[in-house]
Structure 1
């Protein structure tokens, strides 16, 4: 039975890679068609909707295959919220953005610049208006402008996946504090818990999970930056909130219960 289970997981992994390869190609084609024909804001909105639908279909596929469960909590608080805002999750695993984008409409992501050239990702990222994180000064400028125009940004404050030696989260990058204080946009922390190390820092893409993956993703209360707060102080306050939130959740019902 164990061998059959691992063969099934290997099949799901191949199926997932095929889904991403095919989806990446279709997004490149969609960008070539939509970008010349529509205004930038319209094509970007369509790109964000298509990407959200593609990610939701991917999660439905994995759920149908029985390899993961995910519980979303508190996201109804975003219903009816308008204007620019920042979604700021912790980052335990490589696929965290897929879950968040699938759940929250209209997100532009601050993305690692190298991923903008990834053949699986670049079509959807460009069409949805994702912002590369380098050069840093341009990222800050584009992010602040986007928020002032009412866009929603997905920003992982750790800058990379959480390292195991860190205390629940890495040190936060200073960019989120600069963006939040300069734009006056609220920052909504998101707490991602998982029972598995799958796709965490150092986990290769080809390595199969060792158990069924269970996630719990919780939306926290928004944080605003007062006019007299520095970017560094806001960054540290946000990290303290994220640490406290994860500790509180870990003391509650577990994701592998």
Structure 2
């Protein structure tokens, strides 16, 4: 047992409370992540140099896409949690499926929701799917980082028991010191992945190779999630799967394989040249 256990910061999960109005940090994380993604996509669309010529998208495409993506995140994230993580419970309590304020969102479900939103938006607007997917992928990690930080504030999705000097005792996880795995994931899935994708788009001009940014996001997130799951305690009602796999790992492995294939195809094609 470690002698250097850090105290868990007692941060109130409620950020603002004005009478019946209650705003939680978790909700603010979603709002701020979406607003940042909107701002960043507009910046990418407006930078012709990154595209090797005129952008295939317009500012209003980013304005409208963020609304579609938000709907995909909320609906897909909730349905993904229901189907991937607790189908038996929600089958017995279907009325609770719509109770988003009770918590329970799945990244992989939200990702599928965004994919469907992008495909439908591209079809209706007549825009290239690759360009929409690439700007969405580049803008996503900061929202993931904020979401993980909100998980930490809530004291949920804690890590496995450990004796590292920075271990913490989470209020709802018993007396054992544990990895603050939410912070690991916020760093890897959020900050580091954002910086890598920003380097690709701004230094190596990955937007000039359609789908390359998307492929890099899939690989980067999948690897970061798999590594993070090594420190995170799996959901109690699911536990470990085959050979020590967790549900998060099982859902992320296909992302890595698909992302690697997408990136390889993108790199095999000629780079978009200035008109």
TM-score normalized by structure 1? 0.31
- Structure exhibiting the larger radius of gyration computed from Cα positions: 2
Quick check: which one's strand share is greater?
1
More helix by share: 2
Q: Larger RCO: Structure 1 or Structure 2 (Cα < 8 Å, ≥ 6 residues apart)?
A: 1
What TM-score do you get using the length of structure 2 for normalisation?
A: 0.30
